[in-house]
Amino acid sequence: MRIGELAALLGVSTRTVRYYHHQGILPEPPRLANGYREYGMRDAVALARVRRLVELGLSLDEARDVIADDESRELPEILAEIDADLARQEREIQIRRARLAEVLQRAQDGTLRPYDTASPDLVEFLRQVELPASSAAAWDRDLLVLMDSMAAPPARERAFTVLDQVAADPETRSRGQEFYRRLDELAEAEPDDPRIAPLAKMLAEYTLTYMLADPAPPDWRPEMLEPFLEGLAPAQAEVIRQGMRHMSAGKRPR
Amino acid sequence: MRIGELAALLGVSTRTVRYYHHQGILPEPPRLANGYREYGMRDAVALARVRRLVELGLSLDEARDVIADDESRELPEILAEIDADLARQEREIQIRRARLAEVLQRAQDGTLRPYDTASPDLVEFLRQVELPASSAAAWDRDLLVLMDSMAAPPARERAFTVLDQVAADPETRSRGQEFYRRLDELAEAEPDDPRIAPLAKMLAEYTLTYMLADPAPPDWRPEMLEPFLEGLAPAQAEVIRQGMRHMSAGKRPR
DNA sequence: CGTTGACGTTGACGTGACGTCAACGTCTTA
DNA sequence: TAAGACGTTGACGTCACGTCAACGTCAACG
């Protein structure tokens, strides 16, 4: 048999057979005078065994080990390991399909475009609170979506604890809307506008009402806020800065 | 923000961020005087969006398309496609896990070692017919395992149709055992031994009893058999050759 | 006899989404 | 001033092959 016949017999490509030779997983058969590899039944049986192992999910390295050890008691181990791995993959796929179904549902409902892939929790929150269409609210939406994607679990959890409480109380929501209205009025204001200070106080009180635990991680520094103020008008940014200072001051010596 | 801070914020590596720049999936931010990239909120929001899409299963190319098209109505399409793909993967995993469970079961039963990964059909057959421990029977076992792994479905199906019938009839099985006994007696015989011809006839009749349909593919040639006779004694190989000739002659002008 | 086309040989490069390392520059802190 | 943490670019590795190049071999055809 030549390589093409062997490969066709087992349903693989000739490249695969040569690759197995290269990897030492299938012994090289003798060559004919013209240099062609000449295969016999032993090779076909060996290749079949390799293929069965690979199709069970073994890597080529694992298959080589199983074949090399005649006394290979490792096979059940390896198989159990592969099964555990497949089980994990199966769970992951199910989780991802569930998320996909949610997103797909929302995509067909056809609402909020750039936030359509956010977490269900956040989408639910955004739907409930109906932030106004102002630029300041858009900034806050971006911030929320960012927190939603953030890696650090404690920050995320703290944020969503607050959001749940806000969403649950209509009076709180209307206070939030008032805050946005007043923040919007500062769009063209100077950074020393007198309306800034009271609004910052309102923000601090409003937030502290819900953040009973430490709202900031231990390595918090004010300049970490700066990159996220991009997109706000100077006076608006100043409100956030001062509000954060209030909160840090009020909580630091806990 | 510098690249490490941005990466930590979203829970990816700096390599990933730079890779996204390289792939044009995330715009390069301005550089500081020292050459460091300086990120702002816009970048964080953009990266968060990319990550959400990627975590949903989009490839980077797909994510780039979705992000580039503002009017991208493709997202539902892509998501549906991904879901179909995941569904297929899920089915494949379930099938593989079922096969793994079977093999693992047999591995723990701890019997037939080199055939432990064969298909359930074949394992069942081997268990039923209890081939003798002779070398000729070992050869046949190898051949069966080979056919079990063969790519061509018609050949496989024909073979297993025969095997099912053999396994079902005890009298047929005893005739098979007699055949092996007589074949074993030829282990040391010369290739012109007089016992060869009648045994070849027995093989042909035995096999033709079950192979009512054409037993050979249309491009069958006798020399295709040769590689598989390796491992048999010369006289034994001659039995197979002559038996195949009988079968081909008896069926060719159908 | 030459040509065509199928098959064989080796070797190199590509795949996807990064990880890892090298060799170097920059910044902060002790 | 030295160390160590962070930044920069660039190159190579991953896994199981697919694909292509450049070439040799062989059977069949006109």
Q: What is the pLDDT of residues A196-233, one digit of tens each?
A: 999 999 998 887 776 655 556 667 788 889 999 988 99
User: Protein footprint on strand D: which nucleotides are under 7 Å from a CB?
Assistant: 6-9, 15-20, 25-26
Please say if the pLDDT value at position B2 is more than 50: yes
**End-to-end CA distance of chain A, in Å?**
82
Average pLDDT over residues A108-119: 70
A54 contacts on B by Cβ (under 8 Å): none
pLDDT, tens only, A148-189? 888 777 777 777 877 888 888 888 888 888 999 999 999 999
Phi, psi for residue B31 in degrees, rounded to 5: -100, 150
For residue A132, pLDDT beyond 60: yes
Cβ–Cβ below 8 Å for B44 and A146: yes
| Tens-place pLDDT, residues B63-109 | 998 888 766 557 788 888 889 988 998 998 898 899 888 888 887 76
- Asked whether residue B15's C-beta has any atom of DNA/RNA strand C within 7 A, the reply is yes
CB B93 within 8 A of CB A90: yes
CA of A30 to C1' of C22 (A): 43
Top pLDDT among B234 and B166 is at: B234
The amino acid at B231: G
**pLDDT tens per residue, range B200-214:** 999 988 887 766 555
- What was the pLDDT predicted at A253? 39
Is the confidence at residue B251, as pLDDT, over 60?
no
DSSP class of residue B130 equals -
Q: What is the pLDDT of residue A52?
A: 92
Chain A, 101 to 120: residues with Cβ < 8 Å from chain B are 101, 103-104, 107-108, 114, 116-118
Chain A residue numbers touching B94 (CB-CB < 8 A): 90
Nearest to B37 by CA among B61, B56, B20, B62: B20
Point out which residues pair with B37 in neighbouring strands: B31
User: With contacts defined as CB-CB under 8 Å, which chain B residues touch A10?
Assistant: 149-151
Phi, psi of B118 (to 5 degrees): -65, 170
Task: Judge: B118–A52 Cβ closer than 8 Å, yes or no.
Answer: yes
SS3 A174: helix
Name the closest nucleotide to B50, judged by C1' and CA: C17
Query: Chain B closest CA to A95's CA: distance in Å?
Result: 10
The pLDDT of residue A70 is: 60
Q: Are B146 and A45 in contact (CB under 8 A)?
A: yes
For B173, other C-beta atoms within 10 Å of its C-beta total 16
Count of positions (residues) in chain B: 254
Read off the pTM.
0.83
Average pLDDT value for chain A: 85
Interface test with A, best of B2, B39, B49 (most A CBs within 10 A): B49
| Amino acid symbol at A5 | E
Beta-carbon separation of B52 and A150 below 8 A? no
Cα–Cα distance measured from residue A149 to residue A146, given in angstroms and rounded to the nearest whole number: 5
CB contact under 8 A, B96 and A57: yes
Identify the pLDDT of residue A228: 93
Greatest CA separation found in chain A? 96
Residue of B41, B89, B141, B232 to mutate when probing chain A, most A C-beta within 10 A: B41
| Euclidean distance between CA atoms A57 and A33, whole angstroms | 38
Residues in contact with A238: Cβ distance below 8 Å, sequence separation at least 6, in sequence order: A191, A196, A200
